[in-house]
A and B are shown apart, each in its own frame.
Chain A
Amino acid sequence: DGGITQSPKYLFRKEGQNVTLSCEQNLNHDAMYWYRQDPGQGLRLIYYSQIVNDFQKGDIAEGYSVSREKKESFPLTVTSAQKNPTAFYLCASSPRLAVSTDTQYFGPGTRLTVL
């Protein structure tokens, strides 16, 4: 069963704690992305990666960090420096980054709530 999996579906965190969101894909895609979704704000790009061991900041990278040690995995860490972390986080992947017409596929998302 191919696709993108994100875990957990719901995540609760106390203020001041770091938390890591998981994203795994078995589509053999080179490019992976993290977006944040807030009501009325659309999808805003946090980080993206086009190959293993390489990643780039998106529009709202402050307070977040990522790693890309394996092609199929792109975890996102929400650090305590992120001032307003409560949001719906979406991971996506596409065959390549350099070809704009490649379809981007999304995972089911993780809803993070900071208590």
Chain B
Amino acid sequence: QQQVKQSPQSLIVQKGGISIINCAYENTAFDYFPWYQQFPGKGPALLIAIRPDVSEKKEGRFTISFNKSAKQFSLHIMDSQPGDSATYFCAASRAGTALIFGKGTTLSVSS
């Protein structure tokens, strides 16, 4: 049973464009939703995270939008740059459990 579904699997965006990655979850007990960024051959690193008591969180060019009723959250990357080319993972957790990850989205930003 896949508890966190992520789409698309891959994404190609032009430099300066907006990249949007979506995730849906099933367990309403989840209370923490982070996004991780991973470059080839490296471990993932936390990019931005949100809790369900807010609908949006912005850090620089990265924004999480959260829709509690739809059980969905998304990552928006504004003004996408070639350096943003990486694999992005959404995740979810609740107290007492480890993170559950989506399958990842490979983003390529073309210059």
Contacts of B9 in A (CB 8 A): 40
Selecting from A13-21, A62-70, A74-82, A99-107, the interface stretch reads A99-107
Measured CB to CB, the nearest residue on chain A to B96 is A98
Query: Given the interface contacts A40-B103, A40-B104, does A99 sit within 8 Å of B95 by beta carbon?
Result: yes
Q: What is the interface size of chain B, counting residues whose CB is below 8 A from a CB of the partner?
A: 27
Contacts of A42 in B (CB 8 A): 6, 89, 101-104
CB atoms of A104 and B103 under 8 A apart: no
Contact of A108 among B31, B42, B46, B51 (CB under 8 A): B42
B49 CB, nearest partner CB in chain A, Å: 8
* Complex interface residues of chain A between 1 and 20 (CB less than 8 A to chain B): 4
* Complex interface residues of chain B between 79 and 94 (CB less than 8 A to chain A): 89, 93-94
Measured CB to CB, the nearest residue on chain B to A58 is B98
Contacts of A60 in B (CB 8 A): none
- The number of A-B residue pairs with CB atoms under 8 Å apart is 61
Majority-rule SS of B interface residues = loop
CB atoms of B42 and A109 under 8 A apart: yes
Measured CB to CB, the nearest residue on chain A to B102 is A42
Contact of A106 among B31, B45, B97, B102 (CB under 8 A): B45
Query: Given the interface contacts A33-B98, A41-B103, does A100 sit within 8 Å of B32 by beta carbon?
Result: yes
B1 CB, nearest partner CB in chain A, Å: 10
Report the bound CA distance from A48 to B103 in whole Å: 20
Measured CB to CB, the nearest residue on chain A to B2 is A42
23 contacts between A and B (CB under 8 A): A35-B101, A40-B103, A40-B104, A41-B103, A42-B101, A43-B44, A43-B101, A44-B101, A45-B100, A58-B98, A98-B95, A99-B95, A100-B93, A100-B96, A101-B32, A103-B46, A103-B49, A104-B34, A105-B46, A106-B45, A107-B43, A108-B43, A109-B43
